[in-house]
Amino acid sequence: MSTADLAIRIPLATIGTIITVENLFVCYIVYRFRNLRTFTNGFVVSLAFSDALVGGILLPLELARYTSPPGVATAEGYFISIILQANVFNLLAVTFDRYLAVMKPLTYIQFMDKHFVKLPLLAWIVPVVISLIPLTWKTDISSTTHRVYLICILILGIVLPYCLILFAYVRIFREVARLVKSLAAMQHGLIDGRMAEERGRVSSEARVTRIFAVIFAIFFVAWMPVIYMTIAEAINKLEIIPSSLMTISWFTLVIGSSMNAPIYAYFKADFRRTIIRMIRGRKKSRATWKPEDCSSMR
């Protein structure tokens, strides 16, 4: 293995390990702490799991590709498709969650009580089914059928969800601006309890929505090289793909996937409070530890 290969593989492997650990940590703390078990955080867990797959499965497959049988490259292609589609559909699901919370607050809880489990399941089942369709023609990438399939995936699986997500965020931010303006107009002197509660709700929903809008933007930039290469393959123009773009795409993927968990931890208030509580609790337990405490262990 050349020095140039090591210069690429070692950073990718390091970032991949970080991605896996930090996103599994997100999943763990939502499971561990009851106050984090909200509908929105259910979608966060689903998103975090898809990011963990980038570091825990997709990246190791890529690093092993040149020393493994040809089937590994085919498997990698399926995993790229599944994880890309899962990211898109999970972002679509969490955007729908934010849209419903802001636009239909009175029916949000009732709807999610009834349909919450279905949404993350669909966000994974649909990508798996879509991504495995090429098995029916043995993944012959030179066939016209495969190119038509790629074009359909690009339009229905990427472009359309992107448009829906952008439309939803435009509507959400307009509604938040309208609510803020409306609450300001109703304010006369002191704010009563009900108005203060509503203002707090609107402010909280706006902050959470901004977080997911940032995550969507990061996802779009991180996956853009992969989307570009897929478009080139779909229109049978592989010559327009720069030779270095594959390597660049892996770095954009892993850097993008590594940013989401810190965003949850730092900017999402419930995650931030829980992590601070965990750190303080650990410091406190260390400060109060006594040698005789070991005698009670079983």
Is residue 96 situated within a structural domain?
yes
**Per-residue confidence (pLDDT) for residue 192, from 0 to 100:** 58
Is residue 287 situated within a structural domain?
no
pLDDT tier at 291, thresholds 50, 70, 90? very low
Is residue 296 situated within a structural domain?
no
Contact residues for 198 (Cβ-Cβ < 8 A; gap 6+): 183
The domain that contains 256 carries what CATH number? 1.20.1070.10
Is residue 283 situated within a structural domain?
no
Q: What is the pLDDT of residues 50-66, one digit of tens each?
A: 889 888 888 887 777 65
DSSP H or E stretch at residue 112? helix 105-115
Residue 97, pLDDT > 80, answer yes
Residue 297, pLDDT > 80, answer no
Contact residues for 53 (Cβ-Cβ < 8 A; gap 6+): 79, 83, 86
Is residue 153 situated within a structural domain?
yes
Host domain of residue 138: 3-273
| Overall domain count for the chain | 1
Is residue 291 situated within a structural domain?
no
